[in-house]
Amino acid sequence: MRKKIISLMLLLALCLCACGSHKESADLTVIGAEDLALKIVTPKYALTPESYTESAWIGAAFTKAGDSIFYLASDEQSNLLCSLNLNTMERKELFRDEALLLQDIAAAQDGRLFLLAETQSGDTPCMILCLDTDGAELTRTLVSLERTEAVRELAWVNEQVFLLAGNNLIVFDDDGKELSERQTVEVGSTTRMAVTGQGVLVLLQGSMSGDTISIWNSKKKRLEQVVSIDLSFSRVDGGTTWDLYLDCRGALFGYRMSDGTLEKLFSWNALGLNSGAVLELEDGRLVTNAGSGYEQKHPLRILRPREDTGEESSVIRFATTGQFMDSRIRTAIQTWNGEHPECPIEVIDYSVYNTGDDQRPGQLRLAADVASGNGPDIYDFSLEFIDSVPSAPSFARRGLLEDLYPYLDADPELKREDFLGGFFQAMEIGGGLYELTTDFYLVNCFADARVVGDPSQWTYARLHEIMAANERYRYFFDPYVDRMWLLGNILASSDSKLIDWEKGTCDFESDYFRALLETVRDMPETGTSREGTLDITNSEGLLYYMPIGDVWMASIPARAFGENYCFPGLPELGNVIFPQHSFGISSLSSHKQECWEFLRQFWTRQQAEKFWLSPRRDVIRQQINQQWESAVKGEYDRFHPHARQAMEDLYSVLDSVTIAARHDPQIWAIVWQEASAYFSGGRIIEDTMRNIQSRVSLYLAEQG
């Protein structure tokens, strides 16, 4: 029924568009596109290999004239205008002016280029420059605007130049020699602008209920509303195959004005890219400035229409429930797809189902797809924060993940001895290896060895005695951490101490869990700010909780405590591996070997060097040497002679860790709910522990 309603609405939009009459907002047709936005689709485009080298950061403003694309970029000196010849793929720098901030670009039908620029001083903050295709300046038009009127976009249509500035659309006549201001129309400060392949100026105007598409009637010199869509788009670009390309929620949509069709073309994640602007070429290809990482200087990318030749049958489906994908993973996907067109990777982004901070809808949809036999080939278990991804152990225990040990042992390059001594023991689930972890944090605490004493006495009870005997310490852990954040991380680290998954039993009424709850209860609900070593030296916390993600961080306690530093880890647990980026292969995949070939690269030395704490021994040793060399050369603000030994001691800790943090979203939800009542004073600790024990026991029984 829902689909029929949408179809009728689209048909009505067609009729209204055909009439071409001016419609008031109250009568405007609204396209209900919320369901379409949530839909996971097979990408209609594929990424082609990079074809030239870029030395600047490319912006979202580009246009086409003749055989070249003209685009705005920036380097370490200033903004600049560049060109890229599509036949030769030759890149040229055409124009730069260090006194100007270049905002947008448009091309006239005769090939002239118009640049929207802001001056950094003076009474006229805005100007429109006209250049030829070699970058030579022809004219310069000053635009009188108030300083509060931010200039945004520029367009050329039918011998007129259109400028969006502040709340207004400003129209200029172009006689080929100079620009003369003709009229000003109030359109609102959130309006965006594009020109279709048919030469129609389109404005996208936002509201609380979504965006309205309006066109400029050149005869009547006014805007006429076409249709409203109940989505808010971040940008709009014009085209021919689709009149408009609309970006929303990390996906690109196409809209056709002749029949009111709105279609989701692809999720940017599915191509291994962040979102960006697009420009359609005559052959239907799309040029985009989208890249795999925001910090990288990357070339313009070209997306080709994906042929319907059964290509989808050999696609590796890569499922993620997180909104953000690491740029190193994106880049690896791009490279793989360029080298393996017969078996490309398609990212399925389940985060489109999430609402606000609620991660459950995406995870539930993934679980539903797995149950229906439509599961992915690769699971992304990379943690953004607690409860942000499905639990890898729960998938492994259900037989949904492939054991990677046989692949590792058969690999001609990788060997178990290449990795940290306790790494595989820590990562095992029921004796198998079900995750390939590229990097991790070490869940650790810094402390003054003179105060905490013998490592064998680092229990909650003994450390509380030490804290009580020393007037300096008000808190068990340093108070910069939030109470619930701390509890969640220690709970994940305590998985094997509290739960026996093989037997299906748990022990949340233990002395250990009581001590954990009581300790966390006394921590601040919201952590305080911190300022590095000085905070540690004067800290009111006995243990300085610090997830370590870089070997140089070992120098922090060395600077604070000198040779008296120590790494006690977590009480009664020690140090714990907290996987940062982890991936599993579906046991139901028909592309298991191809999935391994893609993932194994992150365990090779060449790729592992790109991560801070890789599980490879040689990479960590190399990082220690590099960090110490940089410190000796004076490249760091602070230098301490004990830092080298501290990094060596950290290496010994890393090489011996045998525990990995294992979160379970359901168990965390139970603990969070019950602990919240305890922390607020609404429940005594005995009832809290009993309730958690009962609810988790029931959950474990349900897991079978």
| pLDDT the model gives residue 308 | 62
By the 10 Å C-beta count (0-12 exposed, 13-18 middle, 19+ buried), 583 is classed as buried
Helix (H) or strand (E) holding 185: strand 179-186
**Does pLDDT of 372 surpass 70?**
yes
Task: Of 269, 258, 218, 262, give the one whose Cα is nearest residue 236.
Answer: 262
Residue type, 675: A
Task: Of 335, 302, 314, 336, give the one whose Cα is nearest residue 48.
Answer: 302
**Does pLDDT of 250 surpass 70?**
yes
Give the tens place of pLDDT for each residue, 639-688: 567 888 999 999 999 999 999 999 888 899 999 999 999 999 999 999 99
| pLDDT the model gives residue 390 | 78
Residue with more model confidence, 345 or 131: 131
- Sheet of strand 244-248, all strands in order from the earlier edge strand to the far edge: 235-238, 244-248, 251-256, 261-267
Residue 542 — very low, low, confident or very high, per pLDDT cuts 50/70/90? very high
Residue 131 makes CB contacts below 8 A (sequence gap 6+) with 81, 94, 95, 112, 113, 114, 115, 137, 138
| pLDDT the model gives residue 566 | 92
| pLDDT the model gives residue 242 | 97
**Does pLDDT of 168 surpass 90?**
yes
| pLDDT the model gives residue 638 | 57
Residue 283 makes CB contacts below 8 A (sequence gap 6+) with none
Strand extents, DSSP E, 284-424: 286-288, 301-305, 316-320, 345-349, 378-380
Task: Of 495, 519, 520, 521, give the one whose Cα is nearest residue 508.
Answer: 495
- Tell me how far CA of residue 228 lies from CA of 2, 16, 74, 110, 205, in angstroms: 18, 12, 36, 34, 9
3-state SS, 91-124, equals EEEEEECCCEEEEEEEECCCCCEEEEEEECCCCC
Q: Tokens for 320?
A: 């993620």
> What are the two backbone dihedrals, phi and then psi, of residue 226, each rounded to the nearest 5 degrees?
-105, -55
Tokens 């040689």, located at residue: 618
Is the Cα dihedral 360, 365, 368, 374 positive or negative?
negative
Residue 8 — very low, low, confident or very high, per pLDDT cuts 50/70/90? very low
| pLDDT the model gives residue 334 | 83
Residue 443 — very low, low, confident or very high, per pLDDT cuts 50/70/90? very high
| pLDDT the model gives residue 569 | 92
Residue with more model confidence, 284 or 629: 284
Helix (H) or strand (E) holding 516: helix 511-521
> What are the two backbone dihedrals, phi and then psi, of residue 558, each rounded to the nearest 5 degrees?
-65, -40
Is the Cα dihedral 637, 642, 648, 652 positive or negative?
negative
Using a pLDDT cut of 90, give the percent of the chain over it. Answer: 65
Q: What are the residue ranges of CATH 2.120.10.30 in the chain?
A: 2-306
Polymer length in residues for the chain? 704
The count of other CB atoms within 10 Å of the CB of residue 147 is 8
**Does pLDDT of 5 surpass 60?**
no
The count of other CB atoms within 10 Å of the CB of residue 476 is 24
Mean pLDDT throughout 390-410?
94
| pLDDT the model gives residue 28 | 75
- Residue 626: strand, helix, or coil: helix
Measure the CA–CA gap between 394 and 399, rounded to whole angstroms. 9
Q: What are the residue ranges of CATH 3.40.190 in the chain?
A: 439-580+617-663
Residue 453 makes CB contacts below 8 A (sequence gap 6+) with 466
Q: Class for domain 439-580+617-663, per CATH?
A: alpha beta
Candidate ranges 3-7, 74-78, 176-180, 422-426; pick with highest mean pLDDT? 422-426
Measure the CA–CA gap between 313 and 42, rounded to whole angstroms. 11
Mean pLDDT value across the chain: 88
| pLDDT the model gives residue 170 | 95
- Tell me how far CA of residue 148 lies from CA of 151, 181, 192, in angstroms: 9, 20, 18
| pLDDT the model gives residue 6 | 36
Q: Tokens for 268?
A: 């940017």
For domain 2-306, the question of CATH label 2.120.10.30 is answered with yes
| pLDDT the model gives residue 111 | 94
Which residues are paired to 442 by β-bridges? 548, 577
Residue 156 — very low, low, confident or very high, per pLDDT cuts 50/70/90? very high
Mean pLDDT throughout 605-609?
96
Q: Exposure pattern of 372-400 as b/e (b: 16+ CB <10 Å)?
A: eeebbbbbbbbbeebbbbbbbbbbbbeeb
Residue 124 — very low, low, confident or very high, per pLDDT cuts 50/70/90? low
The count of other CB atoms within 10 Å of the CB of residue 496 is 14
| pLDDT the model gives residue 527 | 85
pTM for this model (two decimals): 0.77
Residue 533 — very low, low, confident or very high, per pLDDT cuts 50/70/90? low
**Does pLDDT of 12 surpass 60?**
no
| pLDDT the model gives residue 387 | 61
Half-sphere exposure of 435 (CA within 13 A, CB side): 34
Residue 381 contacts residue 583 (beta carbons within 8 Å): yes
The count of other CB atoms within 10 Å of the CB of residue 486 is 20
Measure the CA–CA gap between 704 and 699, rounded to whole angstroms. 9
Task: Of 331, 384, 389, give the one whose Cα is nearest residue 364.
Answer: 389
Helices within 274-344 (DSSP H only):
327-339
Residue 525 contacts residue 428 (beta carbons within 8 Å): no
Residue 23 — very low, low, confident or very high, per pLDDT cuts 50/70/90? very low
Angle at 55 (CA atoms; ends 332, 234), nearest 5 degrees: 65
| pLDDT the model gives residue 18 | 35
- Residue 10: strand, helix, or coil: helix
Tokens 């949340």, located at residue: 508
Candidate ranges 39-53, 339-353, 478-492, 498-512; pick with highest mean pLDDT? 498-512
Give the tens place of pLDDT for each residue, 89-119: 999 999 999 989 999 999 999 999 999 998 8
